[in-house]
Chain A
Amino acid sequence: MLGVLVEKELKSILQSPKFVATFAVSTLLILLSIFIGIQEYETAVAKYETATELVDQHFTEVTSFYQVENKVYRKPSVMQIFVSGVNNDVGSLSRISADRDVKLEQSAYSSDPLFAVFRFIDFTFIVQVVLSLFAILFTYDAINGERESGTLKLALSNAVPRGKYLFAKFIGSWLGLVIPLSIPVLIGLLLVVLFRVPITGTEWMKLGALFGVSLLYFTFFISLGLFVSSMTRRSSVSFLILLVFWINLVLIIPRGASMAAGQLVDVPSVADIEAQKDRYRTDQRQSLNKERSLRWRERFSGMQNLSRAERRAFYNQNRKEWEGEDNDYRTEMDVRVAEYNRQTNEALRNAKLSQERLAFTLSRFSPAAAYQLSAMNLGGTNTSIKTRYEDQMFAFRDNFNAYLSKSQREERAEIRRKAESKGGGRMMMFM
């Protein structure tokens, strides 16, 4: 019985001109998105490689450690073929230097705003927007359309339990849509293999998971369509209701949620944060200077009764120690300032995180948002991409800076030695 019903459902879907049209469109789109994704990925890799090569070349070309400008680039990930997420919005590189924080800058969109005008098209987008619309298109009249054409009466005049009938409808339309749509996805994956995109085992697993999530999302819209179709008497009404649902779920709620969260959770602006950090640094520096002059006054007070030569001798004797002391205080202050900066940054990050959490919680009222977020999490192109990279770069920056300042010190000593041996090198110092 179930078999007959499912078979009829499959036939009626597969034979409809609607199916031919939508299948052609979605096949085209899925293949296009994956193909473009591969191309973009390859371009991104090529760009990344040249960029890092250029940095390396820069290292070989510079003659002094003072000329070193280091940049670290974010490496493209294979998953961005399927889920571009915020990949193009977040900066692609960070300068590594002692006098500035690690900060990702130069996002793909900001260096080429042309791409930002109409944004990117990826697999996730197609599933999220286009396929969900198609799911509705096939189910909005599943029940009430049959009522209108009289076939529902005819079918239920046989000994068919309603539950079974509905279940068969569900299975039939699910199979009728999912199986054909899997074909272009599989071809797309084949493309990925043919283009020799290096995909690791875990990435394959993630892709599998992404496909699973996409199916779940698609299933949601099929069920929603069946639900509304069996709640309403006329197919025109159910279509209208579903379209309004779709607009809200796919287009409105996600945007509305992040904007509502932006209004509800107050995140200090970058300017505020900078002001805060700066105030602290200035305070610290002032108190350090004050203490230092106090210290020196104290030190000199011990020499007040001494003669000039004695003073000099005393000074020369203690100079190393005093300067060391000063340096220690200074380093301590630097550490304090760095710690404070870190804390402030973290506070900002936490505020942003709580804003984000609220936004995402609100947006998850819409399955479309839930789908997109999970896809981004799987693809590693979610909002944490920034903090993740920045954390890694922080660690790298500390190592690199330590190395650089050591090398620079050595270089300076070298220059000084050379200059002294040549004589008259004082000017060289400030070059």
Chain B
Amino acid sequence: MFKLILEKELREIIGTTKFAITFGVCAILILLAFYVGARNYQVSRADYEASVQENLRQMEGLTDWNQIDHRIFLKPQPLASLVSGVSNDIGRTIEVEMRGELRDQGSRFNEDPIFAVFRFLDLEFVFTIVLSLFAILFGYDAINGEKERGTLRLSFANSIPRDQYILGKLVGSFLALVVPLLVPILIGCLLLPILGVPMGSGEWMRLGMIILAGILYFGVFLTLSVFVSAMTERSSSSFLMLLVVWIFAVLIVPRVSVLIAARTVDVPSIDRVDFEKSRYSRQLFSERMSAFRSWAQDNPIGDDHRAFGEKMNEFNKGQDDIYDEKMNLLTEQLNEQRENKSGVQQRLALSIARISPAASFSLAAADLASTSLGLRATYLEAAKAYQVQYSRFMKSKNAGDNRVVISHRMGADEEEPEPIAPAELPVFDYNAPATSETISAALPDLGLLVLFNIIFFFGAFVAFLRYDVR
């Protein structure tokens, strides 16, 4: 009996023009999203490589490591073009100094605001907006539509248990809609390696999880639609209700949740933090000046300029270390304060947003594509680790001390300085967090999606058991 209803459901859905049209639209969009994503990846990859090369090229011909202007760049992630997340909003470029704070600059949307106007058409967008509508379109009259057509009466004039009927309906409509959708998705996946996106096993796994999350999300809207359909008498009213729910879940709740969190938790502005830092830096500088003055009084310049210079360098080095230590301490403190606050804000915003399955899906997908809010933090962390490496390297090249240069200059003229070899610079390579890590980050949201599915499934189930089939 279950099989029969399932089969009927499959046929009833797939045979319609409605299905043909909407499936066509969805298939085109999915393929487009994959194609455009792959192209986008190529472009940003080329861009990235050119930037790295250009940065090294600029150093050619320089004779002093102190003169270099070293920048590192965020390597585009293969999955970022399918789920852009915040990858276009955070800065991609970091100027590396031997000491001090690193800051990401030049977000894609800031560089090319034209793409910010309408944003990108990525897979995540197609799923959140289009597929959820697709699910509603096929689920809204699942029960009350049958009633309107009289088939529900007719079916229940036979000896079928209701639970089997609703089960057959839910499973049938799910299969009828999801299996066809998997076709363009799989074709799209095949497009990725063909179009030159390097997909490792980790990427495949994450992509698989993204698609799984998408299917779960689709399931949420489908079961919700059947649920609402089993709660209402007329299909026109269930459609209206579902449309309102859709508008709220997809467009309103996530955005409003962020704004509510912004109202509730106050995060100090970056300008304020910067100001504190620069004020402290100046204070340290004047302290240092007075320290130098007293040192200069104790150490008169004398006749041996070279010996004096060395002594002074030593003194300065000590001063540098003190400065670095104090400055780092304060910077870390201020940053931590801000990060803590913004962490609270984020958690609040995201927990409110998760009322909407659309938010859960977006967050899970972004986690899996490693374009979530954590992207910037991991990028900056990687950059900081690189900074240590970099500054060790620079010190090995006797660079980084402005005063040394000058004393060099004072005694120069003897030898022609040799050009530096930029290729010796340590290479920065941003690697996304491990697959297991991203998956475990996405698990709570996946769990939520499963929970939504279960709730609406049982909702539909129970509502139908009580449904007035007359």
Please report A residues at the B interface, Cβ cutoff 8 Å. 17-18, 21-22, 25, 29, 32, 36, 39-40, 43, 47, 50-51, 54, 57-58, 61-63, 67, 69, 73, 85-86, 89-91, 93, 104-107, 109-121, 125, 129-130, 133, 137, 236-237, 240-241, 243-244, 247-248, 251-252, 254-259, 261-263, 267, 269-272, 274-275, 278, 282, 352, 355-356, 359, 363, 369, 372-373, 376, 382-383, 385-386, 424, 426-427, 430-431
Contact = CB atoms under 8 A, between A and B. Distances in A.
Main secondary structure of the interface of B (DSSP, over half): helix
Interface in B221-258: 236-237, 240-241, 243-244, 247, 251-252, 254-258
Interface string B34-58: 0010011001001100110111011
Given A21-B244, A352-B112, A116 B255 contact: no
B312 A89 contact: no
Contact of B22 (A240, A427, A430): A240
B327 to A, nearest CB: 15
Interface size range on B against A: 35 or more
Contact of A114 (B269, B345, B402): B345
B50 A18 contact: no
Given A21-B244, A47-B269, A244-B25, A118 B362 contact: yes
Contacts of B376: 113
Interface in B317-375: 342, 345-346, 349, 353, 359, 362-363, 366, 373
A86 B116 contact: yes
B113 A89 contact: yes
Contacts of A373: 117
Interface stretch (B156-164, B275-283, B381-389, B428-436): B275-283
B61 A259 contact: no
A130 B346 CA distance: 27
A270 B251 contact: no
A60 to B, nearest CB: 11
B299 to A, nearest CB: 10
B118 A255 contact: yes
Nearest to A93: B271
Given A117-B362, A118-B362, A427-B296, A272 B90 contact: no
Interface of B: 17-18, 21-22, 25, 29, 32, 36, 39-40, 43, 46-47, 50-51, 53-55, 57-58, 61, 85-86, 89-91, 104-107, 109-121, 125, 129-130, 133, 137, 236-237, 240-241, 243-244, 247, 251-252, 254-259, 261-263, 267, 269-272, 275, 278-279, 282, 285-286, 289, 292, 296, 300-301, 312, 342, 345-346, 349, 353, 359, 362-363, 366, 373, 376, 402-403, 406
A113 B25 contact: no
Q: Which of A17, A89, A93, A278 has the most CB of B within 10 A?
A: A89
B121 A259 contact: yes
Given A271-B50, A427-B296, A54 B247 contact: no
21 contacts: A22-B244, A39-B259, A50-B272, A104-B110, A105-B110, A107-B109, A111-B269, A115-B258, A117-B258, A117-B363, A119-B119, A129-B251, A130-B251, A137-B243, A237-B17, A247-B130, A255-B121, A262-B114, A356-B114, A363-B118, A427-B301
B118 A91 contact: no
A121 B301 contact: no
Nearest to B270: A111
Contact of B275 (A22, A54, A248): A54
A96 to B, nearest CB: 14
Contact of B272 (A32, A54, A106, A385): A54
B111 to A, nearest CB: 6
Contacts of A114: 258, 261, 342, 345-346, 349, 373
Contact of B113 (A125, A254, A386): A386
A67 B282 contact: yes
A247 B251 contact: no
Nearest to A110: B107
A121 B256 contact: yes
A119 B255 CA distance: 6
A282 B135 CA distance: 60
Contact of A352 (B43, B114, B262): B114
Contacts of A112: 267, 342
B312 A427 contact: yes
B329 to A, nearest CB: 21
B130 A251 contact: yes
Contacts of B106: 105, 270
A39 B243 contact: no
Contact of B269 (A21, A50, A118, A424): A50
B292 A431 contact: yes
B90 to A, nearest CB: 5
A295 B121 CA distance: 60
Contact of B51 (A29, A259, A271, A424): A271
